Amino acid sequence: MFDGFQLDHIDVGEVTTRVRYAGAGTPIVLLHGHPRTHTTWHAVAPRLAEHHFVVAPDLRGYGGSALPPDAAGHAQSSKRAMAGDVVRLMAHLGHDRFAVAGHDRGALVAFRTAMDHPELVSHLIVMDGLPVIEQLERTDATFALAYWHWWFLAQADTPERVICADPDAWYRIGEPAALGEGNHADVVTALHDPAVVHGMCEDYRAGLGIDRDHEDADRSAGRQVMCPTLLLESAHDDLDLHGDPAAIWAPWIANSLRHRVIDSGHHQAEQAPAAVAEALLGFLSHGE
């Protein structure tokens, strides 16, 4: 897994980030979602590294990356804080401009990185994600039933106690053959760590509060993503629960928005790695 990649732990200020990187050429950062770690990209990253410098970190609080002590409003787990980790990580690796791709919760971090640091982000790729505020403003019984875990994971204390009692039963992440042996082992190890479970819950607590507030402030100020943006939607997931996801994203994007459907379930990088890599390489090859 990740042949030729360097595995490192890098101090980025508030936290130490576990990260893998390899390749040469223009850089791209790959950000995983919940409840995965960076190893979800194990079949995508090597394909990209043939043409680009690829950086795949664990988000703060996930996998092998640290999480600061809890702060007021769960600010330590805000997507703004996570975006800052990405920027400092890339600066440490010698890059002041890069593409960023994120899946699920990682899509929110990628989006925030592009919003807060437009001078640094050359391309944005969002995979199976929408702005939090757009989801919350459309909440109805159908969405609440489908996304019940958002509300559960954001509760105080209870989720950690429930999940840690039997993390394998709670997550049911699938068989090693489906995820890849190394990826499966890495995720299972993470999910059995109470500190990681807490970090993931804090991610969702921040999502319903401070992250929404940041997006509300952006929208009120008319801020938009300034770089070319690609939306990758899983064909067999529910990103279209609120209607056309590209139409929902469009007001947030100043310039071009491309939209492509990947023939997979929610975990695109694991279920359709060749299609994901091809889509990313094609998008990046068009320049800025």
Give all domains of the chain, ordered by start, each with its CATH number: 6-284 (3.40.50.1820)
Q: In angstroms, rounded to a whole number, what is the distance separating the alpha carbons of residues 273 and 183?
A: 13
Per-position pLDDT tens, the chain of length 288 = 999 999 999 999 999 999 999 999 999 999 999 999 999 999 999 999 999 999 999 999 999 999 999 999 999 999 999 999 999 999 999 999 999 999 999 999 999 999 999 999 999 999 999 999 999 999 999 999 999 999 999 999 999 999 999 999 999 999 999 999 999 999 999 999 999 999 999 999 999 999 999 999 999 999 999 999 999 999 999 999 999 999 999 999 999 899 999 999 999 999 999 999 999 999 999 755
Listed in sequence order, the DSSP H helices in the chain are: 45-49, 79-92, 105-116, 132-137, 141-146, 148-153, 158-165, 167-171, 176-179, 181-191, 194-208, 210-221, 245-249, 268-271, 273-284
Q: Which residues are catalytic?
A: 104, 266
pTM (global) more than 0.75:
yes
Q: In angstroms, rounded to a whole number, what is the distance separating the alpha carbons of residues 238 and 135?
A: 12
Beta bridge partners of 57: 19
